[in-house]
């Protein structure tokens, strides 16, 4: 039995090494995720497969949560993947504020460190939101009961405040509170490809290798 096992490993060693390296790469360097909900629309659409840079902020030992090195800082405007303990699921949201920031929301207008966002309507419920050097497209659907306001809060150390770009249809820090930075798994950088479930799951040609902003 041991001889057969050894022979199998020897014959298939290149393939075995490839699989180990691939899963190690996905574990600690980069991965891609399917997006099942519309909380980040219009930036990320249902059916998008997003590319996640898993060493944007930390480099971890493969298959563990052991941080080997700090590689970057989470910045306002980053789109991040979160393994949320509060939500008990994976979330994809945008970082609105980082540790020490003062942030409030009034009728869907954000203010961070006493600087209110500038919002321009693009069409229907889609707007461009400018905050300092950060620009993004947001969606403000008329949804009853949406949490469109909250009083000023200060983000504590080692936490971030996140929201979805589909502001009135996103369960985020307004519901789960501040996000611990150790739950941030990486930065979403691109859409690898996208499948349209409303059109027989055909690929959306306009979303191949689309950079996320």
Complete domains list, the chain, with CATH: 2-211 (2.10.109.10)
∠ Cα 153 154 159 (to 5°)? 120
At 170-185, the pLDDT tens digits run: 999 999 999 999 999 9
Read off the pTM.
0.84
Of 63-67, 72-76, 199-203, which gets the smallest average pLDDT? 63-67
SS3 of 22, please? helix
Q: Are 205 and 194 in contact (CB under 8 A)?
A: no
* Percentage of residues in the chain having pLDDT higher than 70: 81
What does the pLDDT read at residue 179?
Answer: 98
SS3 of 147, please? coil
At 67-97, the pLDDT tens digits run: 667 889 999 999 999 999 999 999 999 999 9
């Amino acid at each position: 039995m041991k001889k057969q096992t050894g022979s199998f490993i020897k014959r298939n060693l290149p393939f075995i090494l490839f699989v180990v390296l691939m899963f190690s790469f996905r574990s600690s360097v980069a991965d891609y995720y399917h997006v099942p909900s519309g909380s980040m629309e219009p930036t990320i659409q249902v059916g998008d497969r997003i590319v996640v840079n898993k060493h944007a902020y930390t480099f971890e030992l493969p298959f563990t949560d052991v941080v080997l090195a700090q590689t970057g800082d989470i910045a306002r405007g980053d789109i991040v993947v979160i393994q949320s303990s509060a939500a008990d699921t994976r979330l994809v949201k945008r970082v609105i504020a980082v540790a020490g920031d003062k942030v409030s929301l009034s009728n869907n207008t954000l203010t961070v460190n006493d600087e209110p966002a500038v919002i321009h309507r693009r069409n229907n419920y889609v707007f461009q939101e400018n905050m300092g050097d950060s620009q993004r497209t947001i969606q403000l659907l008329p949804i009853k009961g949406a949490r469109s306001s909250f009083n000023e809060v200060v983000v504590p150390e080692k936490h971030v405040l996140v929201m979805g770009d589909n502001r009135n249809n996103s369960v985020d820090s307004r519901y789960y509170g501040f996000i611990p930075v150790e739950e941030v798994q990486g930065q979403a950088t691109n859409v690898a490809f996208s499948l349209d479930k409303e059109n027989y799951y055909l690929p959306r040609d306009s979303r191949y290798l689309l950079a996320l902003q």
